[in-house]
Amino acid sequence: MVPPGELSVPPRLLMGPGPITVDPRVLRAMSAQLVGQFDPFMTATMNETMALYREVFRTANEQTFLVDGTSRAGIEAALVSLLEPGDRVLVPVFGRFGALLTEIAARCGAEVHTVEVPWGEVVRAEAVEEAVVRVRPKLVAVVQGDTSTTMCQPLAELGEICRRHDVLLYCDATASLGGNPFETDAWGIDVVTAGLQKCLGGPSGSAPITLSPRAAALIEGRTHVEAGIRADDDADRGTRIASNYLDLAQIMEYWGPRRLNHHTEAATMLYAARECARLLVEEGLDAAVARHDLHGRAMLAGVGGLGLQVFGDVAHKMTNVVAVHIPDGVPGEGVREALLTDFGIEIGTSFGPLHGRVWRIGTMGFNARRDAVLTTLAALEQVLRSYGVRVTGGGGVGAAREVYAS
Amino acid sequence: MVPPGELSVPPRLLMGPGPITVDPRVLRAMSAQLVGQFDPFMTATMNETMALYREVFRTANEQTFLVDGTSRAGIEAALVSLLEPGDRVLVPVFGRFGALLTEIAARCGAEVHTVEVPWGEVVRAEAVEEAVVRVRPKLVAVVQGDTSTTMCQPLAELGEICRRHDVLLYCDATASLGGNPFETDAWGIDVVTAGLQKCLGGPSGSAPITLSPRAAALIEGRTHVEAGIRADDDADRGTRIASNYLDLAQIMEYWGPRRLNHHTEAATMLYAARECARLLVEEGLDAAVARHDLHGRAMLAGVGGLGLQVFGDVAHKMTNVVAVHIPDGVPGEGVREALLTDFGIEIGTSFGPLHGRVWRIGTMGFNARRDAVLTTLAALEQVLRSYGVRVTGGGGVGAAREVYAS
């Protein structure tokens, strides 16, 4: 074959629900050369990255590291390592990513129970506690920010409930971490996983994770064996974790002082994850959340200024993404295509019950910026006008500017 | 915390068994900005990458794509998607990575049978056929190049045997692909997985995979369901694949024309994988194998010129790595440390029965180069001399030069 030419990526302003435009500092970090897997520099970089993510997760957990894969690999690593076949798990479901937790837990052989609410709402703590008492699960697994609905589930009370009933609490914070308040230790969350491609300003491909001492002990207690040696007779250690690649017991030994060889670390993604965390820690977690809050409010006001109706319970909206109803008579995909073709701007479509009904617009990571917000609103106004939508007054840009001025 | 400073990676010449120094073109490709997950450019890049890997794997298989994770993720994706609990699998084991296949297959619930030979040998085709007849497995799973021993298992006959007995054949070609002859279709191999961090000159973190039509059909036939919907009543489709993240049925739908959303593609690793394949296709697969052969022979002659004894069956050695016995009285780790500290060169240690007994020296990917070979030999000679080893004649560099001159 004649090989294709050099990669020539078209410029895009990624204002969907993620992935988003990567911070150029992260891209530069990713162009650094490799060192060996157990080089002292590699070991030091892994340790630095662990310390950085303790800050990002707001935790003292020793077991804070990266899973080599996308955020979904982190979710599955947590669930397959925590859950044994037959274990009961309770999942509050308020969107697509809650449903994903139920599917992964079911594949782990767990008995899955749910507390469901309509899309656009969050789950009340009382409903979760009632279900915990009824189901008596080993684990409650919940998403913080579900981009499918833009809802941000309050977690502090869930942590209290889980401690009170001696239940483990796992949270998928992929879409919310770094742009919404998150307190692993203060909220009593045992295991948290994330990704780089949302508020952390990086690319998909690395999943930061943190585990409380009791979660780590539970996982370490499960049978794990050296390659090729069966340990079926070691019955009191629980069943073997069904995955080797996502076996957190082995991955903890790889990141821990024993440095036992597991997979070959994806060093470039480690470099990316380190730089994402370094950006956040330099800015300060509170400042980063405040920045996402500011630009999220500006975008919310802006879409209002364009006359668009916001979907869902705005009081529980994530800072970093807003869903708006596609106006009657306007072709949702036509607008997205015009934004991409004429302005190089991407906004999101949606899935499930919202498919074809809402657009999702993100303001996160590197793109939680005033110029990104105003440019997106200006372009969207032009495209809406071309479909006959009347925009009055200062429009989207004017409304967003008011937020910035206040 | 005070965040650590900018990443300052020390210069290293990585001459171990992998990961190796990344080709600078691949690093540059990885610094490219992202586009959205379903952007026309993204889709085109995914399709180009599929076509490139068909060339690299020498296959017409439509199902040729990337698994988002390290090479181990590709291995597990293949085994967990092919094997159902109770299935019999036969693994010819001639080193550590064969043992890894047995461990992953056991975690999939398979009944694992092996044909084992001492480290430093390959498995005879007759022994595999005898075991196939006895065990009647669904799948034979084998490593081509096992870096733990440097052995390269002949595969053409295994493919014939598997076709003759209607058994699927899976091969882990991580360590060998691109540097040793490999023929997916001509040899009749159903599923092959690889990684970027060996002869392909890239970083760890993406696993190219190819599946024959019959392997793809088998996997597509297994129950796969949309998130949140149980399909336990769909009994004739086989058991559900135990992993969501590594469910090849779903990943094929993501890379296929339906573009069903699965995980968020690790676009930077896609860029890397594309550039690795582009380098190989530009050079030509045969030329790349010949290059690995040349520099592998030069290194082999060079270590001989240093008076070092080569481990294992040299007639079946991979082109791209050599194992040499650590001379009596010489501290293996001391030599490695001196090479790293004084020369910035990394060579490999070993595991299992060879731990502390051999060094492993790689000549692969970007480092299958004359200057890399000669520099490594010159530095190793200096370090060996400092431990009292006598080097006579032209030494390692002289012996390697003779290979280059011939």
- Nearest-Å Rg of the Cα atoms of chain A is 22
CA distance A9 to A7: 6
Q: Which of B245, B318, B104, B93 is nearest to A262 (CA)?
A: B104
Tell me which of A64, A244, A248, A366 to substitute to probe the interface with B (most B C-beta atoms closer than 10 Å): A244
What integer is the mean pLDDT of A153-164?
Answer: 98
What integer is the mean pLDDT of A192-220?
Answer: 98
Taking an 8 Å cut-off on Cβ atoms, the answer to whether A41 and B1 are in contact is: no
Closest CA–CA distance from residue A283 to any residue of chain B (Å): 10
Count how many pairs of residues, chain A against chain B, have C-beta atoms within 8 Å. Answer: 276
Residues A159 and A42 grouped into a single domain: yes
What integer is the mean pLDDT of B265-272?
Answer: 97
- Both tokens of B287, joined, read 């030329």
Burial bucket for residue A86 (CB in 10 Å: 0-12, 13-18, 19+): exposed
Residues B127 and B243 grouped into a single domain: yes
Q: Whose structure tokens read 């668009």?
A: A308
Burial bucket for residue B41 (CB in 10 Å: 0-12, 13-18, 19+): middle
pLDDT > 50? residue A226? no
Closest CA–CA distance from residue A11 to any residue of chain B (Å): 8
Nearest by CB to residue B19, choosing from A37, A70, A100, is A37
Residues B264 and B292 grouped into a single domain: no
Residue B360 assigned to a binding site: yes
Residues A329 and A297 grouped into a single domain: yes
CATH code at position B395 = 3.90.1150.10
- Write out chain B residues lying below 8 Å of A28, CB-based: 31
What integer is the mean pLDDT of B221-249?
Answer: 71
pLDDT single digits (tens) B36-83: 999 999 999 999 999 999 999 999 999 999 999 999 999 999 999 999
pLDDT > 50? residue A229? no
Nearest by CB to residue B230, choosing from A22, A106, A272, is A106
CA-CA-CA-CA torsion sign (A156, A158, A159, A164): positive
pLDDT > 60? residue A227? no
Residue A18 lies in a domain: no
- Both tokens of A161, joined, read 């409930």
What pLDDT score does A190 carry?
A: 98
Confidence grade of residue B311 (pLDDT, cut at 50, 70, 90): very high
- Write out chain A residues lying below 8 Å of B103, CB-based: 225, 227-229, 244
pLDDT > 70? residue B224? no
Residues B69 and B208 grouped into a single domain: yes
Residues B267 and B342 grouped into a single domain: no
Are the CB atoms for A318 and A151 separated by under 8 Å?
yes
Residues A31 and A107 grouped into a single domain: yes
pLDDT > 60? residue B400? yes
What integer is the mean pLDDT of B327-334?
Answer: 97
Give me the amino acid identity at A214. Answer: R
Q: How many residues does chain B have?
A: 406
Closest CA–CA distance from residue A304 to any residue of chain B (Å): 25
Q: Which of B232, B208, B199 is nearest to B363 (CA)?
A: B199
Give me the amino acid identity at A317. Answer: K
What pLDDT score does B236 carry?
A: 53
Q: Where are the beta strands (DSSP E) in A147-287?
A: 151-152, 168-172, 191-193, 207-211
- Both tokens of A402, joined, read 């008011």
Residues B201 and B298 grouped into a single domain: no
Give me the amino acid identity at A379. Answer: A
| CA atoms lying within 13 Å on the CB side of residue A120 | 14
What pLDDT score does B239 carry?
A: 87
pLDDT > 60? residue B367? yes
Among A281, A297, A316, the domain-final residue is: A281
Q: Which residues, 6+ apart, have CB-to-CB distance to B379 below 8 Å?
A: B339, B342, B343, B345
Q: DSSP class of residue A135?
A: H
Out of A53-57, B222-226, B313-317, pick the least confident: B222-226
Residue A11 lies in a domain: no
Residue A113 lies in a domain: yes
Confidence grade of residue A146 (pLDDT, cut at 50, 70, 90): very high
CA-CA-CA-CA torsion sign (B158, B163, B168, B172): positive
Provide the H-helix boundaries in A83-153: 96-107, 125-135
pLDDT single digits (tens) A275-308: 999 999 999 999 999 999 999 999 999 999 999 9
What percentage of residues in chain B have a pLDDT greater than 90?
A: 94
- The angle formed by the CA atoms of residues A210, A212 and A218, to the nearest 5 degrees, is 110
pLDDT > 70? residue A252? yes
What pLDDT score does B230 carry?
A: 44
Residue A7 lies in a domain: no
Taking an 8 Å cut-off on Cβ atoms, the answer to whether B281 and A73 are in contact is: no
CATH code at position A264 = 3.40.640.10
Closest CA–CA distance from residue B246 to any residue of chain A (Å): 9
Whether the upstream peptide bond of residue A19 has omega within 30° of 0, thus cis, is yes
pLDDT > 80? residue A232? no
Q: DSSP class of residue A34?
A: P
Domain that holds residue B100: 23-281
What pLDDT score does B229 carry?
A: 45
Closest CA–CA distance from residue B314 to any residue of chain A (Å): 26
Whether the upstream peptide bond of residue B24 has omega within 30° of 0, thus cis, is no
Residue A166 lies in a domain: yes
Taking an 8 Å cut-off on Cβ atoms, the answer to whether B29 and A21 are in contact is: no
Locate the chain A residue with the closest alpha carbon to B285: A1
Out of A207-211, A321-325, B371-375, B388-392, pick the least confident: B388-392
Out of A344-348, B146-150, B229-233, pick the least confident: B229-233
Residues B272 and B310 grouped into a single domain: no
Among A262, A281, A300, the domain-final residue is: A281
Residues B162 and B52 grouped into a single domain: yes
What pLDDT score does A237 carry?
A: 61
Residues B266 and B151 grouped into a single domain: yes
Tell me which of A264, A276, A339 to substitute to probe the interface with B (most B C-beta atoms closer than 10 Å): A264
Are the CB atoms for B383 and B347 separated by under 8 Å?
no
Are the CB atoms for A213 and A62 separated by under 8 Å?
yes
pLDDT single digits (tens) B114-164: 999 999 999 999 999 999 999 999 999 999 999 999 999 999 999 999 999
pLDDT > 80? residue B233? no
Pairing of strands B111-116, B88-93: parallel
Q: Is A279 helix (H, G, I), strand (E, B) or coil?
A: helix
Taking an 8 Å cut-off on Cβ atoms, the answer to whether B268 and A100 are in contact is: no
Q: Domain count of chain A? A: 2
What pLDDT score does A230 carry?
A: 44
Are the CB atoms for A138 and A168 separated by under 8 Å?
yes
Which residues sit opposite A151 in a β-bridge?
Answer: A146, A317
- The angle formed by the CA atoms of residues A391, A394 and A400, to the nearest 5 degrees, is 105
Nearest by CB to residue B266, choosing from A106, A203, A240, is A203
- Both tokens of B126, joined, read 């007759």
- Write out chain B residues lying below 8 Å of A104, CB-based: 244-245
- Write out chain A residues lying below 8 Å of B205, CB-based: 68, 205, 266-269
Residues A53 and A106 grouped into a single domain: yes
pLDDT > 80? residue B330? yes
Out of A19-28, A71-80, A215-224, B242-251, pick the least confident: A215-224
Locate the chain A residue with the closest alpha carbon to B69: A69
- Write out chain B residues lying below 8 Å of A265, CB-based: 70, 204
Q: Write the ipTM.
A: 0.96
What pLDDT score does A228 carry?
A: 42
Q: Which of A12, A343, A143 is nearest to B227 (CA)?
A: A143
SS (H, E, C) chain B: CCCCCCCCCCCCEECCCCCCCCCHHHHHHHCCCCCCCCCHHHHHHHHHHHHHHHHHHCCCCCEEEEECCCHHHHHHHHHHHHCCCCCEEEEEECCHHHHHHHHHHHHCCCEEEEEECCCCCCCCHHHHHHHHHHHCCCEEEEECEECCCCEECCCHHHHHHHHHCCCEEEEECCCCECCECCCCCCCCCCEEECCCCCCCCCCCCCEEEEECHHHHHHHHCCCCCCCCCCCCCCHHHCCCCCCCCCCHHHHHHHHCCCCCCCCCCCHHHHHHHHHHHHHHHHHCHHHHHHHHHHHHHHHHHHHHHCCCCECCCHHHECCCEEEEECCCCCCHHHHHHHHHHHHCEECECCCHHHCCCEEEEECCHHHCCHHHHHHHHHHHHHHHHHCCCCCCCCHHHHHHHHHHHC
CA distance B69 to B204: 8
- Write out chain B residues lying below 8 Å of A89, CB-based: none
pLDDT > 50? residue A200? yes
CA distance B132 to A328: 64
What percentage of residues in chain A have a pLDDT greater than 70?
A: 96
Among A223, A249, A281, the domain-final residue is: A281
Residue B17 lies in a domain: no
Confidence grade of residue B378 (pLDDT, cut at 50, 70, 90): very high
Residue A12 lies in a domain: no
What pLDDT score does B223 carry?
A: 64
What pLDDT score does B32 carry?
A: 97
Locate the chain B residue with the closest alpha carbon to A13: B35
Residue A74 lies in a domain: yes
pLDDT single digits (tens) B236-252: 567 899 999 999 999 99
Taking an 8 Å cut-off on Cβ atoms, the answer to whether B31 and A31 are in contact is: yes
pLDDT single digits (tens) A322-339: 999 999 999 999 999 999
- Both tokens of A69, joined, read 């894969």
Are the CB atoms for B209 and B65 separated by under 8 Å?
yes
Nearest by CB to residue A264, choosing from B68, B106, B204, is B204
- Write out chain A residues lying below 8 Å of B234, CB-based: none
Q: Which residues, 6+ apart, have CB-to-CB distance to B208 below 8 Å?
A: B53, B56, B57, B64, B65, B66, B67, B74, B177, B193, B194, B195, B196, B273, B277
